Structure 1
Amino acid sequence: MTKHRIYTTSFASIYLLYLAKAEKKGRTKSEVDEIIRWLTGYNPQQLASALSDGTDFETFFADAPQMNPARRLIKGVICGIRVEDIKEPTMQEIRYLDKLVDELARGKAMAKILRAA
């Protein structure tokens, strides 16, 4: 079975789309970065390195220092599919990030996006 092409897409190219989506709705780069770091455990230097060295999406998630266990609290529909029902682990991680950026762009408070108690 062939991999979905998103796996081989550079994380940096998708990151720019995340930024554009968030900034168009008045949100900031630092908020996008905070979401990514919360989800993956990357520190600012590791994130900057992944963006500059052409890391693909699959490697970005495979090399994540510590995926946040609270990501399992992310529920809802993205691209017509419930994120909690996605079976392929890497695709589910990608869709979790998509969902978080969508919530940011819709104006949701950061505490709620980051599933703070």
Structure 2
Amino acid sequence: MAWWKGKAGNAADAAADFDNLVKDMERVLGPDALETLNARASLALFQHEAGNSDSAVAILTALLVDCRKGLGPNHPQALAVQRILTSWRRTETETPQPNANRLARPPGHDQATLSRGRLSKPSQGPSQPRPGS
């Protein structure tokens, strides 16, 4: 539900929901569970989309340390977090553009994204339109 709140444009409420969810998941599943790490990534995403860039970068920086420690430095999750963090840091130093809070992914660009609360690998080339769209 938190994910859909954010996707519907209510990033601040989604971030608050994910903050509570992360606390519960850490207690029940443990801080190193992949599901917990994904929830932390979603928390960072919606903090970023809500305009709380400093908080989002801090969350993602801590998440990167934990991913590298628990999963290894070359694990796809750790690499995806690193790419997102690098992208956000680069965006902070550039001139603000419309929708700068969103993760941009030009066609063919090798950048991880968050999809439905999970980190995903970059797509293989530009996506094809659906029939009838």
TM-score strictly above 0.5: no
Q: Which has the higher contact order (CA 8 A, sep 6+)?
A: 1
Larger Rg, first or second structure (1 or 2): 2
Structure (1 or 2) with the greater helix fraction: 1
TM-score for the superposition, normalised by structure 2: 0.31
